[in-house]
Structure 1
């Protein structure tokens, strides 16, 4: 039996999430999660929280109207704390996000960064059946023309889609 649970973001979660990421040196402020909560309440975004023995372990969001894909919902901001990786939590979060999207759309989109920190995610998405959307390198959701130099940071992404149902 799995030792984790998946649930929606709650009003008491933002400070907990911000503190967890601050503890590992990641800049994910409480205001981000308060915005996510407001977007969830408005129906614009769903936020799924993973816990292990009621302790925060990770999360993923579904943006129902993607700024990039427009008519395809996009899975965004997928994170599992390092101490909880390789325990099936990321897979459970992705399964839950995809199942949620499948109730409203036959296709889901996702973007992934290009540097080594995203290597595990790149491999996971390929194994889960995501394929590049064919539009090439994006920087802040805009195509990068051939020959143009860009910084390899979180703004540089390759975008993927997955067919969830016919």
Structure 2
């Protein structure tokens, strides 16, 4: 991630009618400078098309105790989807994670907005961890109430081979 990517990422979300704060991307840039997060930005025909971030250790969810790396934010802007950009970002991210771990993890939302990501992760060999769905960073108990928002997550992992 370069400093100028901050505004380009914010504009990318605005162009598809979504709000993401400049502060989010500034925090990612700072995290990268402090070596707390890897931020990989994809370009397509000279324009920022998406990004993925990787934490060396999962902060929340079932993998936080195991110290596995976690993909914590992954987006390809709608107008750039179905061009192989997501696969390239994930390939790079997995290769990077594999340099220090045999397992990579992520959490994916369950509402339809996450449908393309859910399919992509399954096609790439990510499997649910077996702890069920999580809501607001806690396992969701059977018959418990929740809201189908970004806070409702299924955790997946992938064992990487040499």
Establish whether TM, by shorter chain, passes 0.5: yes
Runs of 4+ in structure 1 over 6 Å off:
none
Counterpart secondary structure, 2:18: coil
CA drift at 1:76: 1.7
Counterpart position of 2:146: 150
Query: Unpaired runs of 5+ in structure 2?
Result: none
Q: 1:116 aligns with which of 112, 132, 135?
A: 112
Counterpart position of 2:15: 23
Query: Unpaired runs of 5+ in structure 1?
Result: 1-8
CA drift at 1:136: 0.4
Q: Partners in 2 of 1:23 and 1:85 — Cα distance?
A: 14
TM-score by length of 2: 0.94
Counterpart secondary structure, 1:61: strand
Q: Partners in 1 of 2:36 and 2:56 — Cα distance?
A: 6
RMSD over aligned CA atoms reads 1.1
TM-score by length of 1: 0.92
Q: 1:87 aligns with which of 72, 83, 89?
A: 83
CA drift at 1:65: 2.1
Counterpart position of 1:72: 68
Q: Partners in 2 of 1:148 and 1:44 — Cα distance?
A: 34
Counterpart position of 1:32: 24
Alignment: residue pair count = 158
Q: Partners in 2 of 1:15 and 1:84 — Cα distance?
A: 18
Cα deviations across residues 72-121 of structure 1 (Å, max 9, x unaligned)? 11012111111111110000001011001000111000111111111111
CA contact (8 A) 1:107 1:165 kept: no
